[in-house]
Structure 1
């Protein structure tokens, strides 16, 4: 099975998604990171069987070849160094905080901007990164606060390097699996998509 992933996607999410395949000795798979247009072209050309993304694809036209399925949603949280945890509700106590944030065109940034607007809070943004792996490293090493799904930094939280300060109210990052309409669909792909509903 050939699986395409958006480079900015959380590696922890991808690993969790494909873990059922690792338990099947008869199945092998490849993971390829590409930009969104290349991923969709790969589906069209049958180079890829499945695409994982955190960006929805429009399927409004009757002839759209894509089958888009939301496979997970992860809550968003403010995460920072454990020893500096702010225990008060946002935005109290965050006046001197520095921030590491996803890019301006992401679902996560939109949710955080809405929270800031609600509380008339102006964040001191030290860095922006679209890549979740880079966001994870910056959150771990900079001493600044970050806004992301806790699953992205689950290892750092478990090790006591970072801590979840608080969840953003009703805010999530959504994850999608995209396939194409085909006469024959691999049984293992059907099972994978069914299991993903529990992620």
Structure 2
């Protein structure tokens, strides 16, 4: 799995494996290059990522399947109030954001530019687990898929203020193009896609 992938998404994906008596598995976090090398060397059957693997070759090495698409949300402390559609009511609120260059941050930057809004950025990180903690504990607003903070939303610590129009985080399963998948992995991918 990619190091910055939502742990809540990963848990939802692998939970069916936990319920199968004869299946054991190993989870490893690496950067994209390390994951693709491990897949190519047959150390992994599958990698989970939020980046589509570009093929660009006559005979592709990888098969990338879209598992899920989650809307990118503006998330705030449960006590926050919003004056309506972005940027009204957001004023000078502090923000904790994904790092520059991420798909989520790019979507937020486009939204800010469209509305000529300058966010007060208190922190930024490329780690979703850290972003989740900062969103939960800092009192700042954040931008991420609600799946990342679903427990905090359920507990009433955070709430979704609104979605960023047309912005989504995509979750992919990447496998070797020429390798047959074990049946339990194929079922896992099919279940996640439905």
Pairwise same-fold verdict (TM > 0.5) = yes
Distance 1:181 1:112 in 2: 34
Q: State the partner residue of 2:192.
A: 196
Matched position secondary structure for 1:83: coil
**What stretches of structure 1 move > 2 A for 4+ residues in a row?**
181-185
Structure 1 segments unaligned to the other structure (5+ residues): none
Separation in structure 1 between the aligned mates of residue 3 and residue 64 of structure 2, nearest angstrom? 18
Q: Report if aligned partners of 2:104, 2:169 keep a CA contact under 8 Å in 1.
A: yes
1:73 corresponds to 2:69: yes
Q: Which runs of 5+ in 2 are unaligned?
A: none
Asked if structure 1 preserves the Cα contact closer than 8 Å seen for 2:60 and 2:177, the reply is no
Please report how far the alpha carbon of residue 110 of structure 1 lies from its aligned counterpart in structure 2 after TM superposition: 0.8
CA RMSD of aligned residues (A): 1.0
Secondary structure of 2:100's counterpart equals: coil
On the 8 A contact 1:85/1:163 being kept in 2, the answer is no
Q: Give me the TM-score of the superposition, normalised by structure 1.
A: 0.95
144, 151, 155: which one aligns with 1:148: 144
1:163 matched to 2:153 = no
**Mapped pair 1:99 → 2:68:** no
TM-score (norm 2): 0.97
Query: Hey, what's the Cα distance between the residues in 1 that align with 2:23 and 2:58?
Result: 34
Alpha-carbon distance in structure 1 between the residues aligned to 2:38 and 2:154 = 37
Pairwise CA distance, 1:87:
4.2
Deviation of 1:23 after TM superposition, in Å, equals 1.6
* Other structure's SS at 1:91 match: coil
In the alignment of these two chains, the number of paired residues is 194
